[in-house]
């Protein structure tokens, strides 16, 4: 395996761009290839097998076209649904992500935490195991946020519609008096401000992008795969034409230079 090969990253859509941005800051000398499977979003209401099949198509593409040296599943739902199977299929290191239960338990003074995640993540056995292991003496309240990923994918980042839906999901958590909110879905980074405003900035909002970036660095070290440029490649592929994509990429990736490629050719026959 060559150190200069890229890191592959995927999500059901634009949510994982927040993780991509953290990896880019943490590891500026790495080539990064991101796949947004927006045509098939949301994953959160789909069966594990369907998600696994999508993941295999994407990882095969990343290996065939970019020879990736490490894979990041920048999606809580796909991690819960498929990481175990993906690790048994592919020999490259795979880093996944999961809701930050342990940090939330440590951060909550009132010992009451709200979790926003997809239905798929919240129903998964991986999530139950996580709660069993790390919830400590904290009470966790979950909200599946149905319809939110779809709105974010459509580029509704500040519309009335999205604010109403987020408030509807936050109200039960407010009534429970939570002092920490876990963003357990990578798409929800885009509603962080709405969450903070709703609670009048009196809650701590936790997301996992930075922790994932550190874990990626650890894995690269472990396998002696860390790269230091200078000829690096940065590409974002998406299979759904999204007129807001440029705006979204620039809002989240600031001055970093990523090439955006619309690629419609992913299907399971490939």
Alpha carbons within 13 A on the beta-carbon side of 162: 20
41 is an interface residue for ligand DGL by CB under 6 A: yes
Task: Give the whole-angstrom CA distance, residue 192 versus residue 28.
Answer: 25
Site string for ligand DGL, 3-32 (x = CB under 6 A): --------xx--x-----------------
**Binder of ligand DGL out of 5, 10, 34, 43 (CB under 6 A):** 43
143 is an interface residue for ligand DGL by CB under 6 A: no
Kindly state the tokens that stand for 223. 């396998």
Task: Give the whole-angstrom CA distance, residue 228 versus residue 125.
Answer: 38
Site string for ligand DGL, 186-205 (x = CB under 6 A): xx------------------
Strands across the sheet containing 180-183: 139-143, 112-116, 180-183, 204-206
Nearer to ligand DGL, 5 or 10 (CB): 10
**Cβ 145 to ligand DGL shortest distance, Å:** 9
Task: Give the whole-angstrom CA distance, residue 191 versus residue 116.
Answer: 11
77 is an interface residue for ligand DGL by CB under 6 A: yes
Among the listed residues 74, 83, 170, 185, the single catalytic one is 185
Task: Give the whole-angstrom CA distance, residue 131 versus residue 41.
Answer: 26
Residues that bind ligand DGL (CB under 6 A): 11-12, 15, 41-44, 75-77, 118, 121, 149, 185-187
């Amino acid at each position: 395996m060559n150190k200069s090969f890229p890191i592959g990253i995927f999500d059901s859509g634009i949510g994982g761009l927040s993780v991509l941005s953290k990896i880019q800051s943490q590891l500026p000398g790495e080539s990064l290839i991101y796949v947004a499977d927006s045509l098939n979003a949301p994953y959160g209401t789909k069966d594990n097998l369907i998600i696994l099949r999508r993941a295999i198509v994407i990882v095969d593409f990343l290996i065939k076209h970019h020879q990736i040296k490490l894979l990041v599943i920048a999606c809580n739902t796909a991690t819960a649904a498929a990481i175990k199977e993906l690790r048994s299929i592919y020999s490259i290191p795979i880093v996944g992500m999961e809701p930050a239960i342990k940090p939330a338990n440590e951060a909550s003074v009132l010992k009451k935490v709200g979790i926003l995640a997809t239905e798929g993540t919240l129903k998964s056995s991986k999530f139950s195991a996580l709660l069993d292991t790390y919830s400590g003496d904290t009470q966790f309240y979950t909200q599946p946020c149905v319809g939110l990923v779809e709105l974010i994918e459509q580029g509704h980042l500040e519309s009335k519609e999205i604010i109403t839906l987020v408030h509807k999901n936050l109200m039960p958590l407010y009534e429970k008096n939570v002092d920490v909110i876990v963003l357990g879905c990578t798409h929800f980074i885009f509603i962080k401000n709405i969450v903070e405003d709703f609670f009048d900035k009196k809650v701590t909002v936790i997301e996992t992008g930075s922790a994932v970036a550190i874990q990626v660095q650890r894995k690269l070290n472990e396998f002696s795969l860390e790269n230091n440029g200078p000829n690096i490649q940065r590409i974002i592929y998406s299979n759904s034409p999204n007129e807001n994509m440029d705006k979204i990429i620039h809002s989240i990736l600031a001055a970093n230079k990523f090439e955006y490629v619309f690629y419609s050719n992913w299907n399971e026959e490939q």
